[in-house]
Structures are given as C-alpha cells and as structure tokens.
C-alpha cells in the first residue's frame, strides 16, 4: 500500500529539498510513498493571491483566510475518504 501525503503551504520551496533527500527520497523511489506539495496561493480567488486577512474585530497581526484552505483541502481530497490533519500556528494539530 502506497502512503500519500499532501502538504499545503505558502512556502512550497522549503519542502522540496527535504522530500528529495535521505529516507524520504528512497521511499518515493520505491513507490512506497507519494508526497505532493501544494501552494496555498494557487487556491485563492483574488488576483493578488492573498492568503491572509486582518483579525475579525481588529487588533494586531494577520490570520489565515479560510477560503483558500477549504478550497485546497476539498480539491486535494476529492471523493477520497482520507485523514486530514490541520495544524495551528504553533504546529500542533
């Protein structure tokens, strides 16, 4: 059985060196795992490919826009029943 990992990020180039080295690279070469990196900006609806927004109610900082995240997850999952892990900004599911 081949494992599939889809990574959604706004920094896809950061992952390319990691997934093309060492054990992960060998697993891909042996068709044991498939890793696809998706740029979240490809799922935005505005011409500037904006993925963040101001917090509701004001305040400092920015928050991720929900629309591109939902669209990306729906498109990638399609009709497949798969486990989905969404990480918070601290890196915890």
Q: State CA 51 to chain mean position distance.
A: 12
**Fold that domain 3-77 belongs to in CATH:** Alpha/beta knot (3.40.1280)
d(C-alpha 4, C-alpha 86), whole Å: 16
Model confidence pLDDT, tens digit, residues 29-81: 999 999 999 999 999 988 899 888 888 787 887 888 889 999 999 999 998 88
pTM over 0.75: yes
SS3 assignment, position 57: coil
86 HSE (CA, 13 A, CB side) = 7
Helix or strand holding residue 73 (H, E): helix 66-77
């Amino acid at each position: 059985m081949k494992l599939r990992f889809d990574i959604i990020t706004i920094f896809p180039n950061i992952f390319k060196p990691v997934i093309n080295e060492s054990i992960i690279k060998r697993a891909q070469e042996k068709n044991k795992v498939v890793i696809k990196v998706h740029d979240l900006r490809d799922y935005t609806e505005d011409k500037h490919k904006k993925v963040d927004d101001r917090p509701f109610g004001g305040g400092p900082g920015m928050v991720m826009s929900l629309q591109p995240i939902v669209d990306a997850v729906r498109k990638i999952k399609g009709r497949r029943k798969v486990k989905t892990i969404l990480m918070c900004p601290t890196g915890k599911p």
